[in-house]
Amino acid sequence: MNQPARTLHHTRLRKDIRWHATEDVSGRVWIAIDPLKRTPFQCSEEDYQILRWLEELESFEQLEAKFNDGFRPRSIHPSTIRRLIHHSRHQGILRQTQEAANDRNRERKERSTFGERAIAFARWVQGIFSARISLANPDALLEGPLRPLQILFARRFTIAALGMILASVCLVVVHYQELIACIPGWNVQRSPSALICYGVVFVMTRVIHELGHAVAGKRYGVRCCDVGVLVSFGMICPYVDTTDAWKTASRWQRMIIALGGIYFEWILAGIA
């Protein structure tokens, strides 16, 4: 007796997701940007086709047959498709009908363990005490007054900056005992004025950190469409949105953009 096909609960790709194709060493890669969370999602050409087939197919068995027919002589196991669907759901790339979502919620409640409930509660608490406040689009500022900062990512300047950072580290090592002697006592460090100074320095350092990501992104043509403040459990931290960096074909450029904030902090520390 044949077993019934395992349905996908009417899972579909979200219509508001923007997809961008780029070439990698392994072939074509598809990148999606969630307009709500501004988080990137990356998958291969084969995975992208499977996600598109969700619009017309209703079961894992149908997806398996479609893949094996379309990408012959390659084949795929249903467990691989299941992992892709689960990962895409977790990343928010897929949506479900309301009826299917209610069914899955009932199943999840029936099978949920204490650990899963604890994780769900922690995420709920984090959502209450966290807020992301968008302030402005910094593109005009990055293309105008801050454009000269892009020279910091030129090869010669980078080499010079790394040399300065290395020299600063050597000075710290040589004068380590003197620096330790200059650190104020615990009573001074926990005074209100000192705590305020620490808070100001922390926020300024984070601003410089995020500026490094933004400047590196603009150097390589990445659109920086949002800057704001992230408030989490009373901590205030600025952020800049450079998720479009995933659209760049060069892996080195994506790496430089990701390390741009630390690079700016190193330069600040070297100057200090």
pLDDT of residue 37: 67
Question: Residue 134: CB partners within 8 Å, gap ≥ 6?
Answer: 226, 227, 228
Predicted TM-score (pTM) above 0.75: no
Task: State pLDDT tens for residues 179-219.
Answer: 888 877 777 777 888 888 888 888 888 888 888 888 888 88
Percent of the chain with pLDDT over 90: 0
In our burial notation (b when 16+ CB lie closer than 10 A, e otherwise), range 89-103 reads: eebebbbbeeebeee
Q: In the numeric block, which tokens belong to residue 264? A: 């700016």
pLDDT tens-digit map of 234-254? 677 788 888 777 777 777 888
Rounded to the nearest integer, the mean pLDDT of the chain is: 79
Q: Is the dihedral of CA 191, 193, 199, 204 positive or negative?
A: negative
Lowest mean pLDDT among 42-51, 118-127, 244-253: 118-127
Q: Are 227 and 137 in contact (CB under 8 A)?
A: yes
- pLDDT for residue 1: 42
Residue 43: pLDDT over 60: yes
- Residue with the bigger pLDDT between 168 and 36: it is 168
Give the rounded percent of residues in the chain with a pLDDT score beyond 70. Answer: 83
pLDDT at position 126: 66
Question: Containing H/E element for 162?
Answer: helix 155-174
- The pLDDT value given to residue 9: 55
For the residues 38-66, what does the mean pLDDT come to?
85
The predicted structure's pLDDT at residue 38: 67
pLDDT digits (tens, 9 = 90+) for 130-172: 777 777 788 778 888 888 888 888 888 888 888 888 888 898 8
Mapped onto helix, strand or coil, the DSSP state of residue 268 is: helix
Cα 50 to Cα 29, 55, 141: the distances in Å are 14, 10, 41
User: d(Cα 192, Cα 248) in Å, to the nearest integer?
Assistant: 46
Specify the higher pLDDT residue, 173 or 250. 173
Angle between helices 60-70 and 45-53 (to 10 degrees): 130
The whole-number pLDDT of residue 97 equals 60
